[in-house]
Amino acid sequence: MKTQLTILITSLFCFATNVGADIVVTFSDGSTSGTEFFATTGETVTMFVSVEETLPNSEMTDNFLIGFGLKADYSAVSGSSATVITNSVDAAFDTPTDTSFTGSELNLAGIDIDFASNGLPQGPTILLGKFDLLLSSPGTTQFSFGDYDSSLDDFVTSTAEKLDGIIFADNRTFDFTITAVPEPSAISLLPLLGMPAMARRRKKSIKPLPKSRD
């Protein structure tokens, strides 16, 4: 009975210790982090992509990341889609292996060969890369980041620890939306733009009074 109780307590402790432990892909526009972003129509926004671990996961803090890979699909969920115009791997990964993009897909992958040249990609949060988005018209665009190559382990540490199984567990993806909204000045002018038409309709609706016969 005492042995069973010890096993139970140990199991509960391990479970409690691992609650919240994870390695996830995160996004930022340089001022805020999250999964929903907003910008003014006509702006170019730089989006930063990072990988972050929470305790007790410490693979990236104890060692460093020597390679990674992400593949994203994106499209408009309302209005017009944003357009990717540049895409780059962070300099800590001195050998980009894929920074290609189209009007609906984006790839971000790189490896660190010369470990000391641009600093080691190490710590609880590691910047992977960034890409620029042109928000030419109002609309909301959704990005969905997933495993770059399911047949390979793309996220690997300097001690050969493979992190894909944690990051992409159960085919998990990491999503965010960015919404382009009209400039406030343009919104304030909308009522004024409708005033001439309203005046014309009002003028047509006013009928002249019939002349009185004396």
Domains of the chain, earliest start first: 18-180 (2.60.40.680)
What whole-number percentage of the chain has pLDDT above 70? 76
Its pTM stands at 0.78
* C-alpha distance from residue 59 to each of 56, 195, 212 (Å): 9, 63, 96
Where helices occur in 63-173 by DSSP H, the ranges are 164-167
Encoded tokens for 28: 């930022």
Number of Cβ within 10 Å of residue 4's Cβ equals 8
Helix, strand, coil percentages, rounded to 5, for the chain: 25, 40, 35
Distance between CA atoms of residues 150 and 145, nearest Å: 13
Please give the Cα distance from 152 to 139 (Å, whole number). Answer: 35
Question: Whole-angstrom Cα distance, residue 203 to residue 28?
Answer: 53
pLDDT at 17: 36
pLDDT reported for residue 20: 54
160-189: pLDDT as tens digits = 999 999 999 999 999 999 999 998 755 454
Looking at the chain, the whole-number percentage of residues with pLDDT higher than 90 is: 71
Sheet (strand 83-89) strand order: 22-28, 44-54, 125-134, 83-89
- By mean pLDDT, which of 42-51, 109-118, 135-144 is the weakest? 109-118
Instruction: Let me know: does 68 contact 209? Beta carbons within 8 Å.
Output: no
CA distance 169 to 199: 62
pLDDT average, residue stretch 9-16: 36
State how far the Cα of 97 lies from the Cα of 108, in Å rounded to an integer.
8
More confident call, 3 vs 98: 98
Handedness of CA 140, 83, 128, 90 (dihedral sign): negative
Residue 3 has pLDDT above 50, yes or no: no
The beta strands (E) that lie in the chain are given as 22-28, 36-40, 44-54, 65-79, 83-89, 95-98, 105-111, 125-134, 139-147, 156-157, 174-181
Segment 66-86, tens digit of pLDDT = 999 999 999 999 999 999 999
Which DSSP category does 148 fall into? S
